[in-house]
Amino acid sequence: MSAIKRGIGKLGQRTGELLGIDSGSKIEVSEEFKDLLFETDHRHSGTENVHAALQLYSSQMLKKKDASDNSKLKLYLLENLGASMVRLGTGLPKDSPYGRAMREVGQAEERMSEQQVEFVNTAREGWMPSLQRSLDDFKEYVALQKKLESRRSEYDSKLVKFQKARKDNMTVEDELRTAQVRYEDAYDDLAHRMLDMQDQETECLREAYNFYQAQLAYHQKCVAEMTRLGGIFDECLRAKRAPAAERHPLGRALDSRRAALTKKSSDTPTSSRQPIPFGANMSSASLSRSTTQSTGRRHFRNGSQQFSDISDEMDSGAYDSGTQEPRKQAPQFSRVQSDSGPALPGRQGVPTVAPRRHAPAPPTPSRGPRRALKRSIYKFHANELGELPMEKGDIVEVTERIDDGWLKGKLVYSVAAGQIGASGLFPANYTEECNESDIPPISSASGGSGGGTIHQRSASLAAAATVKPCVCGCDDFVANKFQEGKCRTCFHHH
């Protein structure tokens, strides 16, 4: 019950102090004591901050990460950088200045990483325990400070009670005297603790100096490594190295091959050089005749594409000087045989003439746009207006794509031969793609007013199907699949 009363009394006293009531009965301390309290509190908070910062610094400096070479090793950051440089320099040739610099710098980084770890461990083993001891002393200081505050509150309450009691009440006076003694004891203990903590500055200063010495030694070793690397970089920068084409075997092989090709091209006579055909992938079999580039007049023989240069004939002499008889001229041109096929019989005695240089490329025949043709694979009945009925085998020229399922076109061939030219819509899945060659020729004998339409390709196909004798006398016609109507052997129209 008495404890409850004391608690209620302290609460009332504290409330009165906060509200400014009975301020005259509050025990005050001296200004010197207040200054010492303020200094000790500042020392406490500052020591806590330094300890936390040093702990964070050491933990970061000693933190290990996964190696960058995916080796699943845990390395320090500076150690990882040095190891990466060493790997790069080791993989380069020994005579490479850059490789040497990378090896030296990487090894220096690894040594500095070791020095860094040593410095941090020194700090963790030296200054950090000293700071931790100071923090433990501050814990005792905080406990004494709370004890003094409690004794002061008790002394204040007894003093107020004594002032309100009667003068002949000896019990209240004894309680006041006891509270005063207890307060003074707590006051003395706190003051001695604060003074002792000031005397501990010498030990703290010594530990801070040891930290400075360790950090100075670490940086001096780093400066020594950097100074040594400066000399190595000077040597690497002054080193002269032959170009890669000269020192590498592959470069020498390329130079030898280039020299051999240059010598071979210079030794080759000009007259034996072949003209470059038009197009990179054009073979010799695609050229029908070797053409002549001359300023003289040309003439054709027998209306064919074979021509000769009259100026060459005049220069060589078309008549014999002694008899004034026409000299027999040797054939000026020969057929170009394909490299892929054997020589034809009966043509072994035909002389060949070396092709002239800078032969003009043959003109490329112009081709019209290819028509999109579709052949009906099913019979289609027109159910709606605008649809195109088709029989199986009809061929339609596509003129417009409506969507993925329907096309619009014009009938160019019909099995019934009575609907050619009709247009309309038809399903795409009823047809398949076809070519111009799939359109069969339509004979001109198909009569009737409705069936009198003759396909536009019938005449040309019939003419191409009829083999005509060659103007040059060739009788072994082989159809050329790439040039319609021409022979694959002599490249002429038959």
- CATH for 430: 2.30.30.40
Note the pLDDT of residue 169. 78
CB 374 within 8 A of CB 432: yes
pLDDT score, position 482: 63
Does the pLDDT of residue 122 top 70, yes or no? Answer: yes
- In-domain check, residue 324: no
pTM above 0.75, yes or no: no
Distance CA 324, CA 277 (A): 41
Amino acid 386: pLDDT: 86
Among 198-207, 439-448, 463-472, the range scoring the smallest mean pLDDT is 463-472
Q: Given pLDDT bands bounded at 50, 70 and 90, which one contains residue 472?
A: low
- Please give the angle made by the CA atoms of 338, 340 and 346, to the nearest 5 degrees: 55
Q: Is the pLDDT of residue 20 over 60?
A: no
Residue 3 is predicted with a pLDDT of 53
Residue 436 and residue 469 in one domain: no
The pLDDT of residue 6: 54
Classify residue 309: in a domain, yes or no.
no
- Exposure of 463 by Cβ count < 10 A (0-12 exposed, 13-18 middle, 19+ buried)? exposed
What is the pLDDT confidence band of residue 255, given thresholds at 50, 70 and 90? confident
Q: Give the Cα separation of 222 and 217 in Å (integer).
A: 9
Least confident window among 6-10, 17-21, 51-55: 17-21
- Looking at residue 475, its pLDDT comes to 63
Tens-digit pLDDT profile for residues 293-307: 433 344 444 444 444
Strand partners, 481: none
Residue 311 to residue 152: CA distance in whole angstroms: 137
The first and second tokens of residue 105, run together, are 């710098």
Judgement on whether residues 409 and 492 belong to the same structural domain of the protein: no
Single-letter amino acid, residue 204? C
Are 103 and 195 contained in the same domain? yes
Between 415 and 192, the more confident residue is 192
- Residues 437, 465, single domain; the answer is no
User: Is there a domain that residue 94 lies in?
Assistant: yes
Tokens 């933990």 locate to: 59
User: Does residue 4 belong to any structural domain of this protein?
Assistant: no
Neighbours of 146 (CB within 10 A): 12
pLDDT for res 112: 94
The whole-number pLDDT of residue 49 equals 95
In terms of domains, do 50 and 98 share one?
Answer: yes
Can you list the pairs that 476-484 forms with residues at least 24 positions away whose Cβ atoms lie under 8 Å?
476/344
| Among 187, 212, 228, residue at a domain's last position | 228
At residue 258, the pLDDT reads: 80
Query: The CATH number of the domain where 157 resides is what?
Result: 1.20.1270.60
pLDDT of residue 257: 78
Is 109 a domain residue? yes
Minimum mean pLDDT among 97-101, 106-110, 269-273: which range?
269-273
Length of the chain: 494
Please check whether residue 134 lies inside any domain of the structure.
yes
Residue 397, SS3 per DSSP: strand
Q: What is the pLDDT of residue 200?
A: 87
Residues 409 and 469 occupy one common structural domain: no
Do residues 387 and 493 share a domain?
A: no
pLDDT number for residue 269:
56
Tell me, what's the pLDDT at 239?
Answer: 87
Same domain, residue pair 426 and 486: no
More confident site: 493 or 168:
168
Same domain, 436 and 483: no
Mean pLDDT of the chain: 74
User: Could you report the per-residue pLDDT of 317-338, keeping only the tens digit for each?
Assistant: 444 444 444 444 444 433 434 3
Tell me, yes or no, whether 426 and 471 share the same domain.
Answer: no
Give me the phi and psi of 409, to 5 degrees please: -155, 180
- Domain check: are 104 and 210 in the same one? yes
Contact 302, 473 (CB under 8 A): no
pLDDT at residue number 87? 93
Encode pLDDT of 360-378 as tens digits. 555 555 555 678 999 999 9
Structural domain harbouring 127: 25-228
pLDDT above 70 (res 380): yes
Number of domains in the chain: 3
- In this structure, of 7-11, 80-84, 365-369, 407-411, the range with the lowest mean pLDDT score is 7-11
Confidence at 27, pLDDT banded by 50, 70, 90 = confident
Which pLDDT score, from 0 to 100, does residue 248 have? 75
> How many angstroms separate the CA atoms of 403 and 474, rounded?
53
Could you tell me which residues come within 8 angstroms of residue 311 by beta carbon, excluding any fewer than 6 positions away?
A: 294, 295, 296, 297
Of 85-99, 146-160, 353-367, 470-484, minimum mean pLDDT range: 353-367
| Same structural domain, 467 and 429 | no
Percent of the chain with pLDDT over 70: 63
pLDDT for 73 beyond 80 = yes
Looking at residue 105, its pLDDT comes to 94
Cβ burial 64-99 (10 Å sphere, 16+ → b, else e): eeeeeeeeeeebbebbbbbbbbbeebeeeeeebbeb
Residue 422 confidence (pLDDT) above 80: yes
Which range, 88-102, 348-362, 429-443, has the best average confidence (pLDDT)?
88-102
- Distances 188 to 73, 148, 185 between C-alpha atoms, Å: 58, 9, 5
Maximal CA-CA distance, the chain: 181
Last residue of a domain, one of 166, 195, 228: 228
| Cross-strand pairs, 423 | 410
198: which 2 tokens?
Answer: 């000031």
Residue 434: inside a domain: yes
pLDDT of residue 223: 95
Whether 400 contacts 344, CB under 8 Å: no
The dihedral region occupied by 255, where left means phi > 0, alpha psi between -120 and 50, and beta the remainder, is alpha
pLDDT recorded at residue 26:
65
Supply φ then ψ for residue 396, to 5 degrees: -120, 135
Who has greater pLDDT, 50 or 456?
50
Q: Is there a domain that residue 154 lies in?
A: yes
Q: Is the separation of the CB atoms in 100 and 236 below 8 Å? A: yes
Whose structure tokens read 């360790």?
214
User: Which of 166-180, 218-232, 357-371, 407-421 bottoms out in mean pLDDT, i.e. has the lowest?
Assistant: 357-371
